[in-house]
Chain A
Amino acid sequence: MVDVTLWAGLVPLADSQKHLSVQASTIRELLRKLQDRYPGLEGPFKNEVAVAVNGTIYRNDWSQEIPDGAEVFLMRRLAGG
């Protein structure tokens, strides 16, 4: 199981839950399962989300594997300069 923390903006779209547990081995699987559970997340997941896996932030590489017991944060994608 992976423990996922949502950024505040996503919480209202996920039944007001900030922390969730999901069985997933890649970022893609994780996002798909969350979206299945909470269809409201589909919009933000399209191009607003970045995923921190054990502290490393991924913005595109949804094939990235999630080690068992990893700590995952869903963050807003930010602009750079």
Chain B
Amino acid sequence: MTSIAVSTTINGDDVEFLCRADETLLDVLRNRLGLMGAKEGCGTGDCGACSTIMDGRVVCSCLVLGAETEGREIETIEGMANGSDLHPLQSKFIEHAALQCGVCTPGFLMAAKALLAAHPDPTEKEIRFWLAGNLCRCTGYDKIVRAVQDAAAEMRGEGT
């Protein structure tokens, strides 16, 4: 089998990699690029733990072929903080105890980032439905929703 050469942008950096045709973006991130923040909870797009942002939209990286990312812009959890400054969502997740085991957290943060880019002032209902593709089994979602609400307020400059 011949590998496919792919040029893409990940977290703002030009990245080139080789992959097989059947490898997913998640496989590539984890196994070829050492970006293990995206998790495989199901491999079938049902849990959202592998969420990444591609060309501004949140996707399950288990449902994207590595080869498809040619020329795309990919954002992963590893690029969310600005250097040593955490993104407000990251800070608020810690502050609100919005994670217990934390395995779903990178996916939630990616999805929530895409949410706040599209809807800076979401209602609780909008948050809950936007995040419905991210499963969390520890928290009951309560503290996650509050963390997103609080981060949104801070990002709107409404500080708490």
Direct contact of A and B (CB under 8 A): no
Residues of chain A at the chain B interface (Cβ within 8 Å): none
Residues of chain B at the chain A interface (Cβ within 8 Å): none
